[in-house]
Amino acid sequence: MPEDKSLTAARKTCTGCKRNYFANLSVCPNCGETNRDAFIGRTISERFLVENVIGEGGMGVVYKAWEDKTKQGVAVKILRPQFLEDELAVRRFKHEALATSRLSHPHIVALHDYGSTTDGYLFMVMEIIDGKSLAQVVRDKRQLAIARTVNVITQVCDALEHAHQSGVIHRDLKPGNIMLTQFAGEQDYVKLVDFGIAKLLHNDDEHDSGIEQKGEVLGSPLYMSPEQCLGRPLDGRSDVYSLGIVMYETLTGKVPHIGKTAHETIEWQIQKDPMSFKAKRPDLHIPELIESVVFKALAKDPAARQQSMKEFANELQEALAKSDDALDLRSSVGMSKISRTKSVESRKPNKMMAMVIALLVTLVLAGLALWKH
């Protein structure tokens, strides 16, 4: 039986009868009025001119807009009007803005402004990202090459190290929240997005209160750490586990745990060890050194994982550099900067050997010439 998405599909409010209907319809089924989006052509916060819709979700609409003075393109996210009376939705929207406002990092989406319009609509203005999510790329490619994966994941580590140092635990790491774009000629430039359910530290949980319902555990079961599944206190090592799952999926095209239900998936995250890469994808060859780093991140006990994102990134790059498959890795598309450096260094001994051999051949030929003479 096909899934009924009628309760979760994006909706909009008719400008005529004020009733809600599916956002993909251009004509209101209740009164027949053709509805033009009321925000298009409007100026938000007295300086962002809204141009068109670029994305829609269950609770919000994202528009492309232009900053009045700089003419810079930005993304404006607005909470749907039907959720303005929903206290939980409002708190989560404000929470995302607060969490993102704490951060300033080249690999984290930048927040330019947030607040409410004169007529009460909540908005966030963020940098606009032209690219694809890691989820889309993995879906298209089935899996990514090892060096390309390490390049992407180490950038995410860098972003999360900054977030953790700023007292922000992402808590919803997944390929869909990792955007890949181009910057200064570099492919796969990472932008980490969606801090809507981030955990804020150093505030006695003041700013986390009210964003979860009683008994609710926030997160995506496919990527949640065991302690997150159990509703226990979290620190940066929970994000380490989630990023380990993201890397597992990026390398193999498959998540380590997926049950028949969300509850079963959560049970497996808590109790079940993931399959080895070879067992999951016998058609692939992934070096043991890389696998050991990923499986360390997937340890059930946070104390057995890498204790920081910086440690995770360092171990990945060392494993890439030391791998016996270095020649194959160097030929991969999307090579990370460190692997390019290592490949140059690894070629130096070969050049020296070639020079030595050439010199020996020259001496031998000279000796033969003298002997014949």
Position 66 scores a pLDDT of: 96
Under 8 Å between Cβ of 242 and 248: no
Position 311 scores a pLDDT of: 98
The pair of structure tokens assigned to 60 is 């919000």
Give the residue with greater pLDDT, 206 vs 310: 310
Backbone angles phi, psi at 83, to 5 degrees: -100, 0
Q: Which one is catalytic: 37, 68, 158, 172?
A: 172
The pair of structure tokens assigned to 323 is 């791998």
Give the residue with greater pLDDT, 96 vs 214: 96
> Among residues of the chain, what percentage have pLDDT more than 70?
76
pLDDT interval class at 317 (50, 70, 90): very high
Position 16 scores a pLDDT of: 66
**What are the pLDDT digits (tens) for 356-372?**
445 544 544 444 444 44
What is the average pLDDT across 241-270?
96
Tell whether the model's pLDDT for residue 20 goes beyond 70.
yes
* Cβ neighbour number for residue 348 with a 10 Å cutoff: 9
Tell whether the model's pLDDT for residue 68 goes beyond 60.
yes
Report the interhelical angle of 146-165 vs 236-252 (nearest 10°). 160
Annotation says 172 is catalytic: yes
Average pLDDT in the chain = 83
Start and end residues for every CATH 1.10.510.10 domain found in the chain: 132-330
CA distance 128 to 124: 12
Position 36 scores a pLDDT of: 66
Q: What pTM was computed for the model?
A: 0.78
CATH classification code of 22-127: 3.30.200.20
Under 8 Å between Cβ of 316 and 325: no
Position 325 scores a pLDDT of: 52
On whether the 132-330 domain is CATH 3.20.20.150, my answer is no
**What are the pLDDT digits (tens) for 155-167?**
999 999 999 999 9
Start and end residues for every CATH 3.30.200.20 domain found in the chain: 22-127
Angle at 42 between CA 37 and CA 46, to 5 degrees: 150
Position 27 scores a pLDDT of: 78
Under 8 Å between Cβ of 78 and 39: yes
pLDDT interval class at 141 (50, 70, 90): very high
CA distance 247 to 25: 38
Position 22 scores a pLDDT of: 72
Position 324 scores a pLDDT of: 57
**What are the pLDDT digits (tens) for 328-341?**
444 444 444 443 33
Position 38 scores a pLDDT of: 82
